[in-house]
Copies of this chain bind each other. A is one copy, B any other.
Amino acid sequence: MTDETPLRADAKLNRERILAAAEDVFLERGAGVSLDDVARRAGVGIGTLYRRFPTREDLLAAAYSARFEACAETSRARSATLDPASALSAYLEDLVRYSNVYRGFAASLGTVLQIGTPGCLATSTEGIRLLQRAQTEGAVRPDVRFNDLVCVATAISLATEQDRSGPEQIAHLVDVFMNGIVRR
């Protein structure tokens, strides 16, 4: 799963160049941009890009890694002072917010999270932890899986990146998903 041999010095530099270029280009023009453009911006051949990141999702996962790491860290810090359900709710909201940083990223969220990048791993782990905690404390139904949460986040991201709806729309949808549609 993880790459065995360490990269050669020049290769490592190119890898970083690619990631920096990807961040710029994805931010500017969305997650669907041509990978040739990324390579060009990085000053690197397209072959080099593909050797390092065989799929677009690999590149997205790597480019997002730091962000996801931050997402996990924020959640960890916050969850100490929140009840389990609120912590999970806040986590979901953040996940959606992060997914909307690159336009068009939402559709890949599920795939990307499954790639073993440190950040992806951190975010998944944190989500699983929060869910489990909420479930053992009886705050959340026991038959919900982490995968369900990812789907929810995906759907909300998709819905909110079409409409130019603000953060209150995201919060509303998260609330609906957390508390249900039926009046209580």
Contacts and interface: CB of A to CB of B under 8 A. Distances in A.
Given A159-B151, A173-B148, A183 B111 contact: no
Nearest to A144: B181
Interface string A140-167: 1101100111111011101100110000
Interface in A99-115: 107, 110-111
B176 A141 contact: yes
Copies per assembly: 2
B158 A110 contact: yes
- Say whether chain A's binding surface is mostly helix, strand, loop, or mixed: helix
Contacts of A149: 181
A144 B173 CA distance: 8
Interface in A166-184: 172-173, 176-184
Contacts of A163: 147
Contacts of A43: none
A177 B175 CA distance: 11
A85 interface: yes
Given A107-B107, A140-B181, A154 B162 contact: no
A54 interface: no
Contacts of A180: 177-182, 184
21 contacts: A88-B181, A110-B159, A111-B162, A139-B183, A140-B181, A141-B176, A141-B182, A141-B183, A143-B172, A144-B176, A147-B163, A148-B159, A154-B155, A154-B159, A155-B155, A155-B158, A177-B177, A177-B180, A179-B180, A179-B181, A180-B180
Nearest 3 CB-CB pairings of A with B: A180-B180, A155-B155, A151-B159
Interface of A: 85, 88, 107, 110-111, 138-141, 143-144, 147-152, 154-156, 158-159, 162-163, 172-173, 176-184
